[in-house]
Amino acid sequence: MTPEAPLSHRRVLRIALPILLANVTVPLIGLVDTAVVGQLGEAAPIGAVGLGAVILAAVYWIFGFLRMGTTGLAAQAHGAGDTGETGAILLRGLLIAALAGLILIAVQGPFLWAAFQLAPASEAVEDLTRSYLGIRIWGAPATIALYALTGWLIALERTRAVLALQLLMNGANIALDVWFVLGLGWGVEGVASASLIAEYSGLALGLWLCREAFLGARGRVFDRERLRRMASVNGAIMLRSILLQGSFTTFLFMAAGKGDEVLAANQILLQFLEVMAYLLDGFAFAAETLVGQAVGARRAAALRRSVRLTAIWGGATALLMGAGFAATGPMIIDFMTTSTEVRETARLYLPWVVLAPLVSIASYMLDGIFIGATRAREMLECMVISVVAYVLALWAFAGWDNHGLWAALMVLNLMRGLTMALYYPRIPASLRPQ
């Protein structure tokens, strides 16, 4: 699809639907990893794989800025018709990924020590986790590079390629999991080796899918002004993401102090929010792409239409999710736990989950718009204001117990949407009218 293609509902769906399908496959890996090592008949391997995956996810999450920044910058270059710069953006991202990955490999000793200080485990689990991470850490360059590759493909509306990439990686991971662990008896090392091979297989396919980016871009990679802009955008996105993750972590930690039933109930209800994120991401990514291209082409009318079309689909999805959570929530809760106490507790707080898509939709869609427009500094400012409001809400609603925690989380997402909505008019105003 080219930037000149008509802006239509069909175009939005062509971008969004493959992302939705790709997101559906993501939870399968953790499920299969756990199921395969579960066949070993011991608790320690399950704990080791789970702990190792959480540690790596926390580290790799920091580099999520590379996906978002690459999408916004590449979409703008693509919209401006600057093919050389479009490719140079990807090459810069890949260089950052290679450097970051090599640093993680070099410091794996201190890294593992720090990880176990933060997440202590039994001696058996810790030993197995070290073996797992000792293999997986060698995949750091590939995993981080895939953020840049995925962001670049999304910017060019090649989301079916993103789906193919995800299917290859997840399919290879699952097949190798079964072979290495159940067939060859490699245990935890087999799970780690399967993931490592899948990561580099994904990198190889990703590089091939993006091969045209490397033609005519090399001489522009180290342009000082463009490097400075990339650093500014990515730095602000990273700080914004740290604040957002810190807010969710605070929610989890505070819930842990309210009893086992409340903690378990919240953990179940957070799975609903994870589903919400996966579904809304498809339309937020479409907004990133189309808005970025409109900004690059300096077309205010195209930007407004992009915002309107993606908002319609995002809003409709949020309404359907709210209704779906209300209708099926009790049944899903019952499926996820057999504990009567946890079921009753989760049902008590289910209305907050029903409300969440409606409260959060603006923040998700505006995130996509601001990323596409590379308004990272404004995103960071909005996040700072929203986190301050969140902290005040935690204090103000402290007497509401767990309801207070959920109310504060709603305030966080509501404020994110409100503050970005106030900033939004600056984006079309900066472009020439059509």
pLDDT tens digits, 304-327 = 999 999 999 999 999 999 999 999
The confidence band for 433, taking pLDDT boundaries of 50, 70 and 90, is low
Q: Tell me the per-residue pLDDT of 154-169, one tens digit each, with 9 for 90 and over.
A: 999 999 999 999 999 9
pLDDT, averaged across the chain: 89
Provide the token pair at 61: 């999450």
Q: Tell me the per-residue pLDDT of 15-74, one tens digit each, with 9 for 90 and over.
A: 999 999 988 777 667 767 777 777 777 767 777 777 788 788 878 888 989 999 999 999
pLDDT of residue 196: 94
| Cβ-proximal residues to 300 (8 Å cutoff; 6+ apart), any chain | 294, 428, 429, 431, 432, 433, 434
Would the pLDDT of 421 be above 60? Answer: yes
Exposure string of 51-83, with b = 16+ CB inside 10 Å and e = fewer, is: bbbebbeebbeebbbbbbbbbbbbbbbbbbeee
What does the alpha-carbon distance between residue 47 and residue 50 come to, in Å, rounded to a whole number? 5
Segment 370-392 mean pLDDT: 96
pLDDT of residue 235: 93
Q: Are 364 and 414 in contact (CB under 8 A)?
A: no
Would the pLDDT of 211 be above 80? Answer: yes
Short-list 23, 50, 66, CA closest to 241: 66
Would the pLDDT of 434 be above 50? Answer: no
pLDDT of residue 56: 85
- State what percent of residues in the chain have pLDDT above 90: 59
pTM: 0.90
Q: Tell me the per-residue pLDDT of 92-128, one tens digit each, with 9 for 90 and over.
A: 999 999 999 999 999 988 888 887 776 666 777 788 8
What does the alpha-carbon distance between residue 110 and residue 88 come to, in Å, rounded to a whole number? 34
pLDDT of residue 249: 79
pLDDT of residue 44: 74
Segment 212-224 mean pLDDT: 79
Provide the token pair at 323: 């209704």
Q: Tell me the per-residue pLDDT of 330-356, one tens digit each, with 9 for 90 and over.
A: 998 888 777 788 889 889 999 999 999
The confidence band for 271, taking pLDDT boundaries of 50, 70 and 90, is confident
First to last CA, the chain: 22
Would the pLDDT of 370 be above 90? Answer: yes
The confidence band for 422, taking pLDDT boundaries of 50, 70 and 90, is very high
pLDDT of residue 116: 75
Q: Tell me the per-residue pLDDT of 239-263, one tens digit each, with 9 for 90 and over.
A: 998 999 889 878 877 876 777 788 7
pLDDT of residue 61: 84
